[in-house]
Amino acid sequence: MTIQVQAHSRELPRLRGGLPWLGHALAFKHDPVGFLRHGQETAGDAFTFTLLGQQVVFMSGPSAHRAVFAAREEQLSCREAYQFMVPILGEGVLYGAGHSVMEQQMKMVQGPLTGKQLRASAPVMVAEAQAYLDALGEHGERDLIDMMAELTASIASRCLVGPEFRTRLTAELRGLYDDLQEGVQLAGLVNPRLPLPPFRRRDRARARIVASVHDIIGERRRPGAQTGPADMLTTLMSARYADGSALSDDIIAGLLLSMIFAGQHTSAAHGAWTGVLLLAHPVWYLRARAEQDQFRVQNPELTPANLHRMTVLDQCFKEAERMYPPLSVLMRVTMSDFVHDGYTVPKGALVFVSPGASHRRPDVFRDPDEYCPARFGPGREEDRRTPYGLIGFGGGQHGCTGLGFAQQQLKIIWSLLLRQFDLEAMQPPGPPDQSTFVVRPGKPCMIRYRRREATP
């Protein structure tokens, strides 16, 4: 798709209401997806509004998504839009670095998250998940969000930074990751370094994690140090920029922390939504479980190839991604006037694309408010029928680097859970928790579990 500058643009509809400077910040903060959905239904596929003194342009629909995801960094900048993340990522790391360095760093982290290295991490993920489930006992009650957060924190720490890190910070880890996530607030769009308590906790958590990674790098560099299987840390320690220079320990620590940050809460939320929706729809819960029982007999190993063949589980994950994408709003900043579909988004505006709002478009997904994993099955394949309709992992230039990692770990977790436990929700799902940029099921989200009799 080519993006052309047209001489005559139509005017973007502006949402009515809002307060001076704050604009629609209160409504947006309260329920970002609901707010954008309402705007989409009343003002159409593109509209503008003010948020904390900043002009925002919302763009919805497959053709707008394609245009945004295909745009080059010089046109629509991801880096500019996510400057509020720099206190977490670190100066000189990804969005905190220049464009060329950012691109080189993105390539460096790709290796361990894809292909052979990703496949090799499957047994480690299985071992981490199994150890967690073994400790659950015969039966009990747990919060599903906590379970998913603990499981994904252990897997991310173990697979990305390594076993030393995982053991060193065991008790603290989950709280530190939560402090990082809770440090991503709407106020960060104005100034992410304001002296607010969540920002202070974010900075303390970052310092603690980075110090620990530094220690591990130091230990690994000692002559005669034991080298285990390759993880992201080993990859980054031997990586080189185009000019041949190595990464400093600060940058390595920042990149590892960035990957954990990008992947842990998102994966935990996606795993929790998949479970909440499955348990609220017994027909699908039983189908997913029957599929696992069949695999358990015929192909019990949780290899990437077997995980790939689990079509029911796959459809359930996609439906959770569609209904409750963990990243519900994606952002870009226009570096020059950007024209799409006859309207101009002026230079300096913040562009919003919303998986959460756009996934409820009836022109893309039939009966969008209904839970129906079969929409992704044979005969319907609503995701393939409309490219750029399902965008829970983004797309194009900045599509999720960790997609394969996230899917592999979550399929492993849910395969084991369904094979080994009878599960039951203790209450119907409540309204989503949208207090940070990652949308999770609202608490309480308690489940009851009982170990099944014939476990593998």
Positions touching ligand HEM (CB under 6 A) are 78, 106, 113, 259, 262-263, 266-267, 270, 326-327, 330, 392-394, 398, 400-402, 405-406
Cα gap 123→128, rounded to integer Å: 9
Residue placing its CB nearer to ligand HEM in the complex, 221 or 340: 340
Among candidate residues 129, 178, 133, the one with its CA nearest the CA of residue 155? 129
Question: In the bound complex, what is the minimum distance in angstroms from residue 191's beta carbon to ligand HEM?
Answer: 21
Cα gap 293→199, rounded to integer Å: 46
Distant-in-sequence, close-in-space partners of 115: CB < 8 Å, separation ≥ 6? none
- CA angle 76/393/242 to nearest 5° reads 60
Residue placing its CB nearer to ligand HEM in the complex, 125 or 416: 125
Question: In the bound complex, what is the minimum distance in angstroms from residue 394's beta carbon to ligand HEM?
Answer: 3
Residue placing its CB nearer to ligand HEM in the complex, 176 or 327: 327
Residue placing its CB nearer to ligand HEM in the complex, 113 or 236: 113
Question: In the bound complex, what is the minimum distance in angstroms from residue 320's beta carbon to ligand HEM?
Answer: 9
433 three-class SS: strand
Residue nearest to ligand HEM (CB): 402
Question: In the bound complex, what is the minimum distance in angstroms from residue 166's beta carbon to ligand HEM?
Answer: 15
Cα gap 72→454, rounded to integer Å: 54
Question: In the bound complex, what is the minimum distance in angstroms from residue 322's beta carbon to ligand HEM?
Answer: 11
Contacts for 423-426: CB closer than 8 Å, 24+ residues apart? 423/275, 423/279, 423/285, 423/447, 423/448, 423/449, 424/279, 424/448, 424/449, 425/276, 425/279, 425/280, 426/141
Residue placing its CB nearer to ligand HEM in the complex, 146 or 424: 146
Q: What is the DSSP letter of 245?
A: P
Question: In the bound complex, what is the minimum distance in angstroms from residue 266's beta carbon to ligand HEM?
Answer: 3
CB-count exposure of residue 4 (10 Å: 0-12, 13-18, 19+): exposed
Residue placing its CB nearer to ligand HEM in the complex, 338 or 405: 405
Question: In the bound complex, what is the minimum distance in angstroms from residue 263's beta carbon to ligand HEM?
Answer: 2
Residue placing its CB nearer to ligand HEM in the complex, 9 or 63: 63
- 101 near 73, Cβ under 8 Å? no
